[in-house]
Homo-oligomer: A and B are copies of this chain.
């Protein structure tokens, strides 16, 4: 691990913004960049492997740590698959949900103001406060039918 390694083949940094307040290290930038190369949900291990194929060797623990950082900062969305593993995806910064293909993972961001209102009012009706919610829709996309 030599961060001073700046040989000619080292790809230029594409994402200049620091990663969630921490130091913009080579590894964190690599993770942040690879997140832009797909638009479906990928597990931490898949992302780690993907980095490997691109010549960016980042330790698995660091991938986990960075994804957690990004998730905490709201820069990526986290989804629990039905098998219980966490999957990550770079998303728009407004609140939204996902329509995910069960087969190929193709993901569509969806918004539903009515749902947002409904959850709030239901929760208030029962005296619950500090509401949050999770809503994911699963199905088989057109090309997988």
Give the B-binding residues of A (Cβ under 8 A): 80, 84-86, 99, 101-102, 108, 110, 112, 114-115, 118-119, 122-123, 126-142, 145
Contacts and interface: CB of A to CB of B under 8 A. Distances in A.
Contacts of A110: 122
Contacts of A122: 99, 110, 112, 137
Contact of A130 (B102, B112, B132, B134): B102
Nearest to A143: B127
19 contacts: A80-B80, A80-B84, A84-B84, A112-B118, A114-B114, A119-B137, A123-B137, A126-B141, A127-B145, A128-B140, A128-B141, A129-B145, A131-B137, A131-B138, A131-B139, A132-B137, A133-B137, A134-B135, A134-B138
